[in-house]
Amino acid sequence: MTVLRGLGIAALLLAAAPAVAGETVTGRWGDDTSCNAVFFSADAPLTVTNYAVRWQGDSCRVARMYKTGDTVHIQALCWDAAGERSVPVSLRPHGSGKITVTWDRARRADLKRCK
């Protein structure tokens, strides 16, 4: 009985862990200009964590993150002066240290990992 209880607790802890999908895309992404920009400036780099994403004036909370193939999909809840809205974000790594970003189904960019 104790063994089953221990296995049940371990399963719950693993289920509550952050999504593994975000580990390869977390960090700062941009071009030469944005990688050297100040964090809150208009040309700041794309910043991705397991819990938040920020790019080009949008500050967002990660509501959901999942992976299909090589692409990481994020349902981001972003807020600004107009209020909160849901923004779909897709991040597809390619090449060495590069990523393709689709933001709100419209904005696309090919970025490199900032050093």
Residue-wise pLDDT for 15-43, tens only, equals: 344 444 444 899 999 988 888 877 667 77
Residue 12 in any domain: the answer is no
Two tokens at 39?
Answer: 């964090």
Higher-pLDDT residue of 92, 8 = 92
Residue 76 in any domain: the answer is yes
* Residue linked to tokens 């991040």: 91
Kindly report whether the global pTM for this prediction surpasses the value 0.85: no
Higher-pLDDT residue of 23, 58 = 58
Report the chain's mean pLDDT, rounded to a whole number. Answer: 81
Confidence of residue 2 (pLDDT cuts 50, 70, 90): low
Residues 98/50, Cβ–Cβ less than 8 Å: no
Instruction: Give the H or E element holding residue 72.
Output: strand 71-80
Cα distance between residue 26 and residue 49, in whole Å: 5
Number of domains in the chain: 1
Residue 6 in any domain: the answer is no
* Residue linked to tokens 């107009």: 82
Q: Note down the domain range covering 69.
A: 21-113
